[in-house]
Amino acid sequence: MNKIITYRTATLKDLDYLMELEGKEIKTHETLDKFYALTANFQDSVKEYFKKCLASKDSLFFVACVNEKIVGFVFCKLEDYVPIFRYKKHLHILDVFVEPQFRRAGIAQRMFAEIKRFAKKKGVDFITLNVDVENIAAKNLYIKNGFVKRMDKMILRME
């Protein structure tokens, strides 16, 4: 059977699927660093946050579906930047995830194209994201899509 890939903006009806993929994404991060370990109430707090963002005109959840099943998503939202800088309006990508068996099929590329369209429509000055230093595949994807490294995020664990 051929795999038909379709793309669309997510809705509240997709919330359970988004939560399932979000859990997989965070578990992937957790394998890179225990810093990303989930809290006991992860599902409840993220579900409420996603509901709020799905209803916002300043957020974008864009999904990729194979035979109508969601296999990937991106989540980004508009954020204000520090008012001392000339560029103020930016879009921050919070999540990019594609199920492992569907990677390297152009799905993430198509989702990034949608992010760029959304950003242009909203008059964004720039797009930002964070990536784990160990996540080489993600870094390569972001570079392929025009991102450049500008800052390092430093973490001090208070254990």
pTM value? 0.86
**CATH class of segment(s) 5-144:** alpha beta
- H or E stretch at 44: helix 42-54
The C-alpha atoms of residue 43 and residue 40 are separated, in whole angstroms, by 8
- Give the bridge partners for 90, in sequence order: 79, 126
The C-alpha atoms of residue 91 and residue 141 are separated, in whole angstroms, by 18
- pLDDT tens digits in sequence order for the chain, 159 residues long: 567 899 999 999 999 999 888 888 877 777 777 776 777 777 888 899 999 999 999 999 999 999 889 999 999 999 877 778 777 789 999 999 999 999 999 999 999 999 999 999 999 999 999 998 888 999 999 999 999 998 888 878 787
What are the structural domain ranges in the chain?
A: 5-144
Beta strand segments in the chain, E: 5-9, 59-66, 69-80, 89-98, 126-129
